[in-house]
């Protein structure tokens, strides 16, 4: 598949670029950023895909998280895709921050009109890894997968369902039980309808209860001052399911941190080191 470089900047001796391509899966033009550490131009390196949260594009984490310094030091390729299809302009698509544009929820929609384009699960689990594998100096077939908030939900659900592709998973402030919170219930009803069996396929807590596990320890960082902690995120539900199923997990409750990129930038280095260790063991 042809990709087009839109921008490129030297950063910590590596390269931070943005690419566009016409997606077969989402049937529209998609953008993603890629950081390439200097060593990757002579030696293939592991790649980590970062999934962003509600309202974000590829740009937010690329400019705010400060991952480039750590990626250069560890020799990691970092890929940051968008959070939804763009340019479809369905009725009400842009009316709210938690549904439609910028809120694809990393699932394959079954309800019209969303089912034609909102197929972010297939985009992240199939199309994007294939594009990265064929266009960049990555060690394949394994990728690390991480994300924040809605993107943390995506990292957990996609990772649990595809452990052969994503054997290393971590998250910041993830929506771990979307079937049980307002954000998830709104998105699932709109994209998937009323079939709760379909909802379970995109709910990390339900997937864990049903036997989906990661081959490596799962790392989650959650701020104790996160304004969405009690109503939307509910990390204890996922922790309980993991313990019941014997999934190795580390949930770190970080005192005083909120839901912002100040929180992410404080611990992004830990997550990249976590993924480097896991991927080196594959």
Q: What is the per-residue pLDDT across 68-115, written as a single tens digit (0 to 9) for each? A: 999 999 999 999 999 999 999 999 999 999 999 999 999 999 999 999
What is the structure's pLDDT at 169? 98
Nearest of 220, 227, 278, 206 to residue 254 by alpha carbon? 220
Confidence of residue 140 (pLDDT cuts 50, 70, 90): confident
pLDDT score of 211 more than 90: yes
pLDDT score of 170 more than 90: yes
Cβ–Cβ contacts within 10 Å for residue 255, how many? 7
What total of structural domains would you count in the chain? 1
Q: What are phi and psi of 85, to 5 degrees?
A: -60, 160
Contact yes or no for 150/106 (Cβ under 8 A): yes
Report the DSSP pairing between strands 168-172 and 4-11: unpaired
* 3 state SS of 105: coil
pLDDT score of 42 more than 90: yes
Can you give the residue range of the structural domain that contains 119?
3-280
What is the structure's pLDDT at 141? 85
What percent of the chain has pLDDT above 90? 98
What is the structure's pLDDT at 91? 92
Order of all β-strands in the sheet with 168-172: 4-11, 14-22, 29-36, 77-81, 45-51, 138-148, 168-172, 218-223, 249-254
Contact yes or no for 52/83 (Cβ under 8 A): yes
pLDDT score of 1 more than 80: no
Catalytic residue numbers read 149, 226, 259
Report the DSSP pairing between strands 45-51 and 138-148: parallel
- Sign of the alpha-carbon torsion through 62, 64, 70, 73: positive
Residue 95 DSSP label: S
Q: What is the CATH number of the domain that holds 80?
A: 3.40.50.1820
Contact yes or no for 173/223 (Cβ under 8 A): yes
Helices (H) and strands (E) counted in the chain, each on its own, are 10, 9
Q: What is the mean pLDDT of residues 212-224?
A: 98
pLDDT score of 216 more than 90: yes
Q: What are phi and psi of 43, to 5 degrees?
A: -140, 130
What is the structure's pLDDT at 172? 99
Q: Is the pTM of this model over 0.75?
A: yes
Q: What is the mean pLDDT of residues 123-131?
A: 98
Q: Which two tokens stand for residue 139?
A: 């060690």
Nearest of 220, 217, 216 to residue 270 by alpha carbon? 220
pLDDT score of 282 more than 90: no
* 3 state SS of 108: strand
């Amino acid at each position: 598949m042809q990709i087009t470089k839109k921008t490129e900047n030297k950063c910590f001796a590596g390269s931070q670029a943005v690419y566009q391509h016409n997606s077969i899966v989402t049937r529209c033009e998609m953008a993603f950023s890629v950081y390439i550490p200097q060593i990757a131009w002579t030696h293939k390196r592991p790649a980590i895909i970062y999934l962003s949260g509600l309202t974000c594009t590829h740009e937010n984490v690329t400019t705010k998280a400060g991952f480039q310094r750590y990626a250069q030091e560890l020799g990691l390729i970092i890929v940051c895709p968008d959070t939804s299809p763009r340019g479809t302009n369905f009725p009400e698509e842009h009316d709210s921050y938690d549904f439609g544009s910028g809120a694809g929820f990393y699932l394959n929609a079954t309800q019209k009109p969303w089912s034609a384009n909102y197929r972010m699960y297939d985009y992240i689990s199939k199309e994007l890894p294939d594009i990265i594998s064929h266009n960049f100096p990555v060690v394949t077939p394994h990728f690390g997968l991480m994300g924040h908030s809605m993107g943390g939900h995506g990292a957990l659900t996609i990772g649990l369902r595809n452990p052969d592709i994503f054997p290393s998973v971590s998250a910041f402030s993830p929506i771990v039980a979307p079937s049980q919170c307002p954000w998830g219930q709104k998105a699932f009803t709109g994209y998937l309808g009323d079939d709760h069996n379909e909802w379970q396929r995109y709910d990390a807590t339900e997937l864990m209860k049903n036997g989906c596990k990661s081959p490596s320890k799962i790392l989650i960082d959650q701020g104790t001052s996160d304004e969405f902690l009690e109503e939307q995120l509910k990390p204890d539900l996922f922790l309980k399911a993991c313990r019941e199923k014997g999934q190795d997990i580390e949930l770190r409750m970080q005192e005083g941190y909120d839901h912002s990129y100040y929180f992410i930038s404080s611990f992004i280095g830990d997550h990249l080191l976590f993924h480097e260790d896991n991927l080196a063991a594959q």
